[in-house]
Structure 1
Amino acid sequence: MRTVHVTAQGANLRLSGECLEVWLERERLAVVPVNVLETIVVHGSALLTPAAMNRVLSGAIACVFLTQDGRLKGRLEPFGHPAARLRARQALVHATPAARLVIARRVVLNRLHSQLRVLRAWRCPQQQDLPALLARVRTAASLDELRGIEGWATRQYFAAVRERFGVERWQRHRRPPRDPLNALLSYGYALLLRPAWSAIATIGLDPYLGMLHEPSRGQPAAVLDLIEEFRAPLVDFLVFPLFARLRQQDDWWEPHGEGVRLTWDVRKRLIEQFEARLLRRTRYRPSGRRETVARVFELRARDLARAIQGQGALKPAW
């Protein structure tokens, strides 16, 4: 299986036999056999012909639509999933504050574990509060308290990273990203949505019923829960070294509204590195086996489903 990213603005995806072709004006950019496709990711303005759309749906191929700056617009996927009992249980846990808090605590704990792992890999001077916050997470009495602890932990984590990469005055700003580093991080985090949503859909969980996140503004809260643990080891671990190499240049980003936007060359570079990272193998802690990072997304979604069904705790992946 493979994922195809369509980044050419104004491109058309056409069906030709059992292949999808990417055309830009009169030039054919790519040909991909349908039987090897798992996901199509459309960045910005590209179109699927009706024949291509019908073949995507009949072939159970998901199609994810992002804006040019990497924000999720929507997802096209086949209708229906047999996991009705799992979704009913998910809805019950979501509506039960005590049960929901138990899983939300594990989501935050696992994110903190992954952040500490990255700081150790980079040999960052660890912030004193980060290990102590693990104990506070375990005793958080409400979702609001838990989210407050998570926010403080994230600030401490980025403080350590800032010192490591010599960007002491930098601050994390999401909407809109106000500087090139924020734009890199936001785009990288948006790339996490595709494998996370695919994993959630594969297992049969409702993507909108999260435990830590709320489905406000229609955001896929369960998908956001799943990606928390992947932010630091997958995106931050790529973005900060990339930024260190690019920061001496001035042609890889451009003003965009009240913020900035990455050039297409840099976005493609980040996509290539991200997709390559998904194919790398890593030790999956719960089983002790080495798995591809892409496979870890599905394993984490399965672990989340087991936790929702009361069949085990959601332990750290690494």
Structure 2
Amino acid sequence: MPELFITEYGVSLGKKSERLVVKEKGQVVEEVPFRDITQITIASSGVSISADVIRECVECGVQINFLTSTGKPYARLTAPSLTGTVITRREQILAYRDGRGLYLSKCFVEGKLKNQANLIKYFAKYRRNTDTVLYEDLQAVCRQLENAVLELEEIEGENIDEVRPRLFSVEGRAALQYWGAVAMLLRGHVEFTGREHRGAADPVNAALNYGYGILYGQIWGAVMLAGLEPFAGFLHTDRPGKPSLVLDLTEEFRPAVVDRAIVSFFTRGGTIAMEDEKLSQESRREIARRVLERLDGEENYDGKKHKVRTIIQMQSRRLASYLRGEGKYRPFLTGW
């Protein structure tokens, strides 16, 4: 159990010896050794957590995330020692003004575009013999995404501020093609007219937004453990309270983790219940389960199979090493 995900109202988390004790309505429902947990995510109101649990989590390196009912992270508890690194963060700040920041920004967009194409190829291969029209339409979208990568490669400049609008232009036009392909895949399963972000009331967008919130927590923890500053990004602009580096690194993992989990869920007959234009508690639990399963799935990375959640940590360390001048950064690419 690398991650404990709490979605029930009224749950209490306490400590007994070296174990985390989970109670519902005063009854013990689970006991887990702290050494077996990497993260605790609380995605419900009315959950209590003791000071003893917080201290044990800090000492054991267990991160505690808090999400709203829509999946938006609003708090995170980590050990203060995680912010004690200096060299990596100094180089991260300096990189914003030189070619490193631009190179990384292009990598983040490249990874997103290629993984979007790979995800469409993944779903298309199962339609090749059963729906040739859909298969050809999906292949056409993949070609458009691959052309976007070529356009991205031609963008040059001194720093990220010079070319950010051009990067977002490429990414935005590609997104229209990509979400159009997702709509093709979901046709006949669930209504989806396009991507919406905050306040989305339809099941697909609500599920995607909730899944992205879970992914943000994973990325944020990995960034912190790698000694990076989560609020000093490159592709995404600075704004108070905006973890721009977390958003940067999330880009290349969105299609491989959340999009794949959600599209698979709906195309296999999954349904989502909405209550007051929000995901029901049962739906939040199901989406969390699907995304966490995907994080525990394996992908190739540097010639070996690793869990996706492990790859996120390795990619964060690779990013830190690049900023220190100790190696090359390449975007993570999922298989199809």
Q: Does structure 1 residue 56 correspond to structure 2 residue 57?
A: yes
Q: Does structure 1 residue 241 correspond to structure 2 residue 258?
A: no
Q: Does structure 1 residue 146 correspond to structure 2 residue 167?
A: yes
Q: Does structure 1 residue 275 correspond to structure 2 residue 287?
A: no
1:203 Cα offset (Å): 1.0
Q: 2:181 maps to which residue?
A: 160
Partner amino acid for 1:8? Answer: E
What is the root-mean-square deviation in Å for CA atoms of aligned residues? 2.0
Partner amino acid for 1:303? Answer: R
Q: Is the 1:42–1:64 Cα contact (8 Å) retained in structure 2?
A: yes
Q: 2:279 maps to which residue?
A: 262
What is the TM-score when the length of structure 2 is the normalising length?
Answer: 0.86
Q: Is the 1:107–1:314 Cα contact (8 Å) retained in structure 2?
A: no
Partner amino acid for 2:102? Answer: L
Mapping of 1:1-318 within 5 angstroms? 2-45=2-45, 46-81=47-82, 82-94=84-96, 96=97, 98-123=99-124, 124-127=138-141, 128-140=143-155, 141=157, 142-166=163-187, 170-246=193-269, 252-256=272-276, 260-284=277-301, 287-318=302-333
List runs of 5+ in structure 1 lacking aligned partners: none
Q: Is the 2:11–2:22 Cα contact (8 Å) retained in structure 1?
A: yes
Q: Secondary structure at the match of 1:219?
A: coil
1:169 Cα offset (Å): 5.9
Q: Secondary structure at the match of 1:211?
A: coil
Q: Secondary structure at the match of 2:81?
A: coil
Between 1 and 2, higher relative CO (CA 8 Å, sep ≥ 6) is seen in: 2
1:71 Cα offset (Å): 0.7
Partner amino acid for 1:280? Answer: G
1:132 Cα offset (Å): 1.6
List runs of 5+ in structure 2 lacking aligned partners: 125-137, 158-162
* Residues 8-60 of structure 1 deviation map (CA, whole Å, 9 limit, x = unaligned): 11221111221111222322222111222211100122121122222222322
Partner amino acid for 1:158? Answer: W
What is the TM-score when the length of structure 1 is the normalising length?
Answer: 0.90
Q: Is the 1:306–1:312 Cα contact (8 Å) retained in structure 2?
A: yes
CA distance in 2 between partners of 1:277 and 1:296 (Å): 12
Partner amino acid for 1:147? Answer: F
Q: Which moved more, 1:127-136 or 1:153-162?
A: 127-136
**Closer, same or farther: CA 310–154 of 1 in aligned 2, 3 Å:** farther
**Closer, same or farther: CA 308–52 of 1 in aligned 2, 3 Å:** same
1:163 Cα offset (Å): 1.6
